[in-house]
Amino acid sequence: MAIVKPFKAVRPLSRYAAHVASLPYDVMNTAEARKMAKENSNSFLHVSRAEIDLPKATDEHSKAVYEKAAENFKNMMSSGVLVQDKEDSLYIYAQEWKGRKQIGLVACSSVEDYFNEVIKKHELTRPEKEKDRINHMQSVQAHVGPIFLTYPHHLTVDKIIKDFTERNAPVYQFRSDDRVTHTCWVITDKAIIANLVSIFKKEIPYTYIADGHHRTASAAKVGKKLADKNPRHTGKEEYNFFLSVLFPDNQLQILPYNRLVKDLNGMQPDDFIAKLEKKFYVQRKKYGTTPLVHFIRMYLDGAWYSLTPHDGVVNDDNVIDSLDINILQNNILKPLLGIKDPRTDHRIDFVGGIRGFKELEQRVDDGEMKVAFSLHPVSIEQLMQIADSGKIMPPKSTWFEPKLRDGLFSHLF
The pLDDT tens digits for 244-295 are 999 999 999 888 889 999 999 999 999 999 999 999 999 998 765 555 788 8
Nearest one of 116, 105, 148, 110 to 380, comparing CA atoms: 148
Q: How confident is the model at residue 80 (pLDDT cuts 50, 70, 90)?
A: very high
Give me the CATH number covering residue 321.
Answer: 3.30.1760
Residues of the domain holding 300: 257-376
Q: Is the pLDDT of residue 353 over 80?
A: no
For the segment 83-107, the average pLDDT, to the nearest whole number, is 97
Q: What are the C-alpha distances in Å from 334 to residues 156, 277, 328, 338, 370? A: 47, 16, 8, 5, 16
Q: What is the pLDDT of residue 33?
A: 94
Give yes or no: residues 72 and 196 share one domain: yes
Residues 6+ apart with CB under 8 A from 241: 5, 7, 108, 109, 110, 111, 223, 411, 413
Is 33 a member of any domain? Answer: yes
Is 381 a member of any domain? Answer: no
8 Å CB contact between 169 and 80: no
Q: Distance between CA atoms of 48 and 20, rounded to whole angstroms?
A: 11
Q: How many angstroms from the chain centroid is the CA of residue 120?
A: 15
What is the radius of gyration, based on Cα positions, of the chain? Answer: 22
Is 278 a member of any domain? Answer: yes
- 97-118 core/surface letters (b: 16 or more CB in 10 A; e: else): beeeebbbbbbbbbbbbbeeeb
Give yes or no: residues 83 and 95 share one domain: yes
Is 148 a member of any domain? Answer: yes
Give yes or no: residues 112 and 164 share one domain: yes
Give yes or no: residues 355 and 330 share one domain: yes
pTM: 0.88
Q: What is the pLDDT of residue 273?
A: 97
Supply the mean pLDDT for the chain.
94
Nearest one of 409, 374, 184 to 260, comparing CA atoms: 374
For the segment 359-388, the average pLDDT, to the nearest whole number, is 93
Give yes or no: residues 339 and 363 share one domain: yes
Q: How confident is the model at residue 232 (pLDDT cuts 50, 70, 90)?
A: very high
Dihedral sign of CA atoms 330, 335, 336, 341 in order: positive
Q: What is the pLDDT of residue 304?
A: 94
Q: Distance between CA atoms of 242 and 146, rounded to whole angstroms?
A: 8
Q: Distance between CA atoms of 217 and 123, rounded to whole angstroms?
A: 11
8 Å CB contact between 150 and 380: yes
Q: Beta 241-248 vs 119-120: how paired, if at all?
A: unpaired
Is 386 a member of any domain? Answer: no
Q: Is the pLDDT of residue 396 over 90?
A: no
What single DSSP character describes residue 147? E
Give yes or no: residues 290 and 229 share one domain: no
Q: Is the pLDDT of residue 355 over 80?
A: no
Give yes or no: residues 226 and 261 share one domain: no
Q: Distance between CA atoms of 63 and 131, rounded to whole angstroms?
A: 12
Residues 6+ apart with CB under 8 A from 130: 214, 217, 218, 221
8 Å CB contact between 409 and 172: no
Q: Is the pLDDT of residue 382 over 60?
A: yes
Give yes or no: residues 226 and 264 share one domain: no
Residues 6+ apart with CB under 8 A from 159: none
Write out pLDDT tens, residues 2-43.
Answer: 999 999 999 999 999 999 999 999 888 899 999 999 999 999
Q: Is the pLDDT of residue 220 over 80?
A: yes
Number of domains in the chain: 2
Give yes or no: residues 241 and 367 share one domain: no
Q: Distance between CA atoms of 392 and 122, rounded to whole angstroms?
A: 5
Q: What are the C-alpha distances in Å from 328 to residues 10, 93, 332, 342? A: 44, 36, 5, 11
Write out pLDDT tens, residues 363-372.
Answer: 999 999 999 9
Give yes or no: residues 230 and 295 share one domain: no
Is 186 a member of any domain? Answer: yes
Is 317 a member of any domain? Answer: yes
Q: What is the pLDDT of residue 317?
A: 83
Q: What is the pLDDT of residue 401?
A: 87
8 Å CB contact between 193 and 89: yes
Give yes or no: residues 12 and 73 share one domain: yes
Give yes or no: residues 205 and 89 share one domain: yes
Q: CA triplet 255, 258, 261: central angle to 5 degrees?
A: 170
Q: Is the pLDDT of residue 400 over 80?
A: yes
Write out pLDDT tens, residues 149-207.
Answer: 999 999 999 999 999 999 999 999 999 998 999 999 999 999 999 999 999 999 999 99
Write out pLDDT tens, residues 296-308.
Answer: 999 999 999 999 9
Q: Considering the chain, what percentage of its residues have pLDDT values greater than 90? A: 80
Is 394 a member of any domain? Answer: no
